[in-house]
């Protein structure tokens, strides 16, 4: 009579090398996030054409942007807990189909009301997709490389946004703004169909739910073919990966302070990032920088975000993401405030005002983007598997309020004739708050994250 073998799935994944199967999962999740980035930025690319076509007054599309962000908040808050109950794969594929359909349905809009409704609905799908892509990536990643793989996966979001700009440049003039909606709808549908056979469910989730031993066995054999998994193996996971899926579990087991500090970090990062994205071209132009240079400087901020994510990803697992974050947030606050300082400097040594602005904006993007993406990785490490999707999604959902407030605050300050230096000094405050939160997190949870 053979003795049943017990295989700890969490330990098996942590001990195995990173193979092609895991890289495929990371690539597919990154592709989903890229589609998410394309559709999230789509309205920004077509807004001028819609305004001209519909003869809208300046600023009319502002609330539509807000509705899209509000939809993303709802999608994240609702479908993170759902994914912890029914699985990450189902939510990722379902959300991709959903935001693709809503993007195509936007073609039927003939008024701001219709446009707003479909952007809100699209936002729900977008908000559901990418936090679960992060959760799934983390659960296929060995703990020693988890931060790196999650951050590299999230590069897809910026890539998708950049591709959206290139596609807009090719299509808008000849085919109209509707062509962007066709691309933003059809491509995700094709990808969603491809994900059905290619994307695998999280093995730790399958163990927690029970009854899928054959599928778990198949996944483990693909992750590391060199390690045998017998046909009579029984599967288990680490004790801290077992538990209820309720949102209240984000505040149990000593996680209350960590959850709140992560929310502060997410909120500070999104406030500053969306403030900069919305108003940098306008404010830089007011600093006697040409409109062309203002646009180029702002675009380079996204390049800085990408570079920062790669740099931090390469060192995150060696140093510890919780050790890096306070430095990233502190430097982000310094450089955002420095943009305001440059506005009154009139140049420094051999550098013109334009060059100084370019340098400070680049490093602002580097540290803000690096901090925000590092916080994503930190959340994926901090939360155990049974509430990982809930923790990541609620962090993003709660902080979506800040992403809405950032552009609103900038518009309010511009309307109130705040000086440029004052605007950026105030915009640096959320980063300072995130720095304090990350320091508290580091002190409180250093032992847990270092094990």
Task: Look at residue 57 and tell me if it is in a domain.
Answer: yes
Closest by Cα among 327, 82, 41 to 166: 41
CA proximity to 338, closest of 418, 421, 436: 421
Q: Based on the number of CB atoms within 10 Å of its own CB, is 39 exposed (0-12), middle (13-18) or buried (19 or more)? A: buried
pLDDT of residue 349: 47
For residues 160 and 155, give the distance between their C-alpha atoms in angstroms, rounded to a whole number: 9
SS3 assignment, position 123: helix
- Do 178 and 324 lie in one domain? The reply is no
Do the domain assignments include residue 406? yes
Q: What is the dihedral of CA 322, 328, 332, 333, to 10 degrees?
A: 60
- The dihedral formed by the CA atoms of 30, 33, 34 and 40, expressed in degrees to the nearest 10: -170
Burial of 226 (0-12, 13-18, 19+ CB in 10 A): exposed
Of 368, 330, 318, the closest CA to residue 147 belongs to 318
Q: Are residues 101 and 143 in the same domain?
A: yes
The sign of the CA dihedral 14, 15, 16, 17 is positive
* pLDDT score recorded for residue 292: 64
Give the Cα separation of 147 and 284 in Å (integer). 35
Say if residue 287 is in the same domain as residue 394. yes
If asked whether residues 260 and 143 sit together in one domain, one would say no
Answer yes or no: is 84 within a domain: yes
Q: Are residues 211 and 251 in the same domain?
A: no
186 and 256 in a single domain? The answer is no
Concatenated DSSP letters for 358-408? HHHHHHHHHHHHHHHHHHHHHHHHHS-GGGHHHHHHHHHHHHHHHHHHHHH
The whole-number mean pLDDT for each consecutive block of 10 residues of the chain, a chain of 451 residues, reads 67 86 92 87 79 76 81 88 88 95 93 92 91 88 84 82 79 86 94 95 86 85 84 77 72 90 93 81 74 70 84 82 92 92 60 78 91 88 84 86 83 82 91 95 77 54
Residue 289 covered by a domain: yes
Q: Is residue 78 part of a domain?
A: yes
Q: What is the pLDDT of residue 159?
A: 81
Q: How many domains does the chain have?
A: 2
51 and 184 inside one domain: yes
- Of 217, 236, 257, the residue at which a domain comes to its end is 217
Let me know: does 270 contact 400? Beta carbons within 8 Å: yes
Q: Is residue 229 part of a domain?
A: no
Structure tokens at 34: 């890229």
102 and 60 belong to one structural domain: yes
Burial of residue 359 (CB within 10 Å: 0-12, 13-18, 19+) is middle
254 plus 201 within the same structural domain: no
Query: How many residues belong to the chain?
Result: 451
CATH code for position 96:
1.20.1250.20
Q: What is the pLDDT of residue 30?
A: 93
Q: Collapse the DSSP code of 419 into the 3-class scheme (helix H, G, I; strand E, B; otherwise coil) and give the result.
A: coil
Q: Are residues 273 and 156 in the same domain?
A: no
Q: Is the pTM of this model over 0.85?
A: no
What is the secondary structure of 27-61 as a DSSP string?
HHHHHHHHHHHHHHHHHHHHHHHHHHHHTPPTTTT
Per the listing, tokens 């931060």 go with 147
The two three-digit tokens of residue 315, written as one number = 């060192």
Helix axes 155-175, 20-54, angle to 10 degrees: 40
At residue 257, the pLDDT reads 93
The answer as to whether 240 is a domain residue is no
Q: For the chain, first and last CA: distance in Å?
A: 39
Question: Which of 217, 239, 265 represents a domain boundary (last residue)?
Answer: 217
Query: Is 235 domain-assigned?
Result: no
Whether 78 and 207 share a structural domain: yes
Residue 428 token pair = 């640096």
Q: Which of 167, 195, 217 is the last residue of a domain?
A: 217
Shared-domain flag, residues 211 and 259 = no
Task: Report the alpha-carbon distance of residue 327 to residue 157 in Å, rounded.
Answer: 24
- The pLDDT score that the predictor gives to residue 435 is 96
- Among 62, 71, 58, 49, residue whose Cα is nearest residue 118: 71
Cα separation, 423 vs 284, in Å, equals: 12
Provide the residue range defining the domain that includes 122.
Answer: 6-217
């Amino acid at each position: 009579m053979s003795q049943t073998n017990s295989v700890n799935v969490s330990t098996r994944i942590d001990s195995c090398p990173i193979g092609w199967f895991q890289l495929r999962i990371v690539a597919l999740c990154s592709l989903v996030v890229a589609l998410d980035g394309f559709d999230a930025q789509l309205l920004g690319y077509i807004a001028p054409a819609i305004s001209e076509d519909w003869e809208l007054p300046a600023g009319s599309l502002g609330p539509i942007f807000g509705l899209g962000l509000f939809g993303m908040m709802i999608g994240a808050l609702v479908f993170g807990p759902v994914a912890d109950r029914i699985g990450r794969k189902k939510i990722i594929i379902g959300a991709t189909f959903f935001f693709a359909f809503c993007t195509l349905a936007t073609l039927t809009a003939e008024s701001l009301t219709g446009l707003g409704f479909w952007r809100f609905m699209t936002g729900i799908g977008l908000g559901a997709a990418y936090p679960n892509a992060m959760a799934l990536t983390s659960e296929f990643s060995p703990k020693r490389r988890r931060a790196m793989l999650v951050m590299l996966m999230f590069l897809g979001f910026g890539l998708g946004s950049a591709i959206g700009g290139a596609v807009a440049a090719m299509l808008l003039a000849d085919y109209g703004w509707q062509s962007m909606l066709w691309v933003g709808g059809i491509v995700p549908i094709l990808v969603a169909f491809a994900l059905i056979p290619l994307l695998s469910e999280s093995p730790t989730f399958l163990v927690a739910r029970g009854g899928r031993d054959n599928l778990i066995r198949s996944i483990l054999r693909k992750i590391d073919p060199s390690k045998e998994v017998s046909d009579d193996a029984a599967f288990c996971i680490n004790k801290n990966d077992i538990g209820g899926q309720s949102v209240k579990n984000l505040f149990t087991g000593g996680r209350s302070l960590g959850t709140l500090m992560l929310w502060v970090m997410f909120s500070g990062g999104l406030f500053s990032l969306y403030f900069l994205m919305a108003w940098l071209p306008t404010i830089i132009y007011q600093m006697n920088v040409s409109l062309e240079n203002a646009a180029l400087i702002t675009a380079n901020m996204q390049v800085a975000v990408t570079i920062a994510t790669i740099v931090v990803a390469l060192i995150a697992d060696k140093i510890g993401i919780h050790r890096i974050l306070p430095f990233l947030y502190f430097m982000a606050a310094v450089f955002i405030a420095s943009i305001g300082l440059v506005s009154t400097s009139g140049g420094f040594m051999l550098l013109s005002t334009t060059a100084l602005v370019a340098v400070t904006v680049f490093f602002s993007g580097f540290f803000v983007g690096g901090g925000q993406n590092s916080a994503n990785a930190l959340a994926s490490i901090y939360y155990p598997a049974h509430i990982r999707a809930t923790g990541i999604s609620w962090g993003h959902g709660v902080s979506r309020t800040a992403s809405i407030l950032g552009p609103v605050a900038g518009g309010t300050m511009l309307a109130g004739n705040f000086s440029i230096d004052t605007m950026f000094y105030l915009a640096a405050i959320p980063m300072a708050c995130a720095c304090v939160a990350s320091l508290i997190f580091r002190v409180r949870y250093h032992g847990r994250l270092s094990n």
